[in-house]
Each structure stands twice: as C-alpha cells, then as structure tokens.
Amino acid sequence: MLITLQDVSKCYSGVPVLEKINLSLQPSKIICLLGPSGAGKSTLLNILSQTEAADSGSVITSPKLKLSYVFQEDCLLPWSTVSENIGFVRDNEPAAARAEISSFLDEVGLSGYKDHYPHQLSGGMRQRCSIARAFYHGGNALLMDEPFHSLDYHLRFDLVHKLIVLWERRQCAIVFVTHDIDEALLLGDEILILSRHPGRIVKRIEINTPQRSRSLKDQELMLTRTDILDQLLDVQ
Ligand code: ADP
Ligand code: MG
C-alpha cells in the first residue's frame, strides 16, 4: 500500500468534518472520492498529503511514496511559459528535460504551445498543462482535487480520456476527487461516496472493467450510476 488511513477523523473548531475514514491506496489503482460540496473531500486529500494532520486515527505511508498534486485551479506561474511551468518541478538536465516535457505536451495535446504564457491559453489548456506537470513530476501517487470542475462537458470527457492514457502508461496510483458521477464511473477502480456533516464513507463501489473499455452507455455502468445517484440524493 502507498497510503493507508485507519479510522481517520478531523474536526474544525469542534465541528466534525471527517469521521472514521478508512482507505488504502494501492499502486496503479484509481480511487474516486465522490461527494457533495462541504463533505470534506479536500480536507481528506490534505490529510493524505500530510499537509493537514488528522485529529485521530492513523495515516500510514510507504517509504516509497512520492506524491504529485493537481489542484482545482491550475496553479500555473503567470510569468512562466508552458514548458517552464512544467520544468520547474524537477531538477533535470536541460536537454533531457526539453525532450521529456515535449513528449508530455504531445500527450496532452499541447505541442506547439510550449512557449505560450498561461494567459494565452484557455481554461482546458491550462488544466492540461498542470496535468502534464504532475506526470512530469513523476510521483507514484497523484492527488487530484476536482481538476475538471470548471470545464464544460466535452472538455471534461476529453481530459478524462487523456488522463486514462497518461495513467495507463505511467501506472501511478490516483486519488481523484469529484462531485461528478460520470467522471467517477469512468475513472475509478474504487468509488468511495462521502456523506456531508460529517464526511463519512457511506458506500464503496468497485468497478472491475478496465477504464479504457468503459462507456457511460454500458448497461452495467448505468445501473451503478443509478445506485450512486440514489445514494448521493440520500446524503444531500
Ligand atoms: P469539500 O472539498 O468536500 O467541498 P472541504 O474539505 O473543503 O469540503 O471542507 C469541509 C468542511 O470543512 C467545510 O464545512 C469547510 O468549511 C470546513 N473547512 C475546511 N477547511 C477548513 C479550515 N482550514 N478551517 C476551518 N474549517 C475548514
Ligand atoms: Mg473541495
């Protein structure tokens, strides 16, 4: 396991935000955390990255753990070009860095934009740049906090698809936070549904079909979707 949480709870000013969370992040697997706004999803990512301490329970990390992060906002440096924004996360020999960055830019469909500045890119392109940066960083676990939330339907699915291809090639583990059922259905090996006030895992769903062969039109996935929807409406 890369990270294991055992009975992790967290309060802010005496108000419980997370209660007895148990999860295990295995190498190369994708966990989707799905829940309404305010359920404690970002807090849980912060606990996983140990930027926030749990009040009780244990956070056990493998000595091999190397984390990368993709935030809700793209968090690009406005004064740096696309390739500088990607390159600064690693100390790499310049020629090797150029070649590697360019191959990541190809994979996210940004070749030809390496010398552009963030303000010259659309929201979807900026988010593609931050995903390329996270993969270039080369962690074996990637935490993603609603990375596609501000994008329209088509862009979201394009990026979900690109993410699957990048993940298949690098095989890192991913914890993907979303409030979008379809993103969770397409990406998750395991989907954890969080309730609100306090955030508790109210359901765990495993999907065994490989991500690459999933379609939202599949009967089985549609049934799982209905199941999740019922659960989410129940916890609102
Ligand atoms: P989500 O990401 O699911 O929308 P968050 O983890 O951001 O939820 O927040 C869960 C709850 O914890 C919210 O009610 C939020 O206001 C509260 N909260 C989050 N971070 C802090 C903090 N640093 N101090 C106090 N309250 C916080
Ligand atoms: Mg959040």
- The pLDDT, as a whole number, for residue 72 is 85
Q: Is 10 in the pocket of ligand 1 (CB under 6 A)?
A: no
Distance CA 148, CA 157 (A): 9
pLDDT tier, 120 (very low <50, low <70, confident <90, very high otherwise): very high
Distance CA 5, CA 152 (A): 33
- The pLDDT, as a whole number, for residue 235 is 60
pTM: 0.95
Class of domain 1-66+142-222+231-236: alpha beta
Ligand in nearest proximity to the CA of 53 = 1
pLDDT > 70: percent of the chain: 99
More confident residue, 198 or 43: 43
* Most informative mutation of 8, 43, 44, 177 for ligand 1 (most atoms within 8 A of CB): 43
Ligand in nearest proximity to the CA of 145 = 2
Residue 236 has pLDDT above 60, yes or no: no
The domain segmentation of the chain, as residue ranges, is 1-66+142-222+231-236, 77-138
More confident residue, 176 or 153: 176
What's the burial of 183, exposed, middle or buried (CB within 10 Å: 0-12/13-18/19+)? buried
Average pLDDT over residues 120-128: 93
pLDDT tens across 4-30, in order?
999 999 999 999 999 999 999 999 999
Listing from the earlier edge strand, what are the strands of the sheet with 56-61? 15-25, 3-12, 56-61
**CA 37 to chain CA mean position, Å:** 16
Quick check: helix, strand or coil at residue 185? helix
pLDDT tens across 25-60, in order?
999 999 999 999 999 999 999 999 999 999 999 999
pLDDT tier, 126 (very low <50, low <70, confident <90, very high otherwise): very high
pLDDT tier, 196 (very low <50, low <70, confident <90, very high otherwise): confident
Question: Parallel, antiparallel, or unpaired: how do β-strands 141-145 and 173-178 relate?
Answer: parallel
Whether omega for the bond prior to residue 198 falls within 30 degrees of 0, making it cis, is yes
Q: Are 182 and 218 in contact (CB under 8 A)?
A: no
Q: Are 22 and 201 in contact (CB under 8 A)?
A: yes
Distance CA 118, CA 82 (A): 7
- Nearest C-alpha to atom 19 of ligand 1 is from which residue? 43
- The pLDDT, as a whole number, for residue 206 is 97
- The pLDDT, as a whole number, for residue 129 is 95
Distance CA 133, CA 119 (A): 17
- The pLDDT, as a whole number, for residue 33 is 97
Query: Hey, what amino acid is at 30?
Result: I
Q: Is 53 in the pocket of ligand 1 (CB under 6 A)?
A: no
Rounded to the nearest angstrom, the distance between the alpha carbon of 34 and the centre of ligand 1 is 15
Q: Is 200 in the pocket of ligand 1 (CB under 6 A)?
A: no
- The pLDDT, as a whole number, for residue 60 is 96
- The pLDDT, as a whole number, for residue 139 is 94
Closest CA to 32 of 234, 214, 197: 214
Residue 119 has pLDDT above 60, yes or no: yes
Q: Are 207 and 32 in contact (CB under 8 A)?
A: no
Q: What is the mean pLDDT of the chain?
A: 94
pLDDT tens across 160-181, in order?
999 999 999 999 999 999 999 9
Average pLDDT over residues 182-189: 97
Alpha helices, H only, the chain: 41-48, 82-87, 94-107, 123-137, 153-170, 181-187, 219-235
Distance CA 29, CA 41 (A): 18
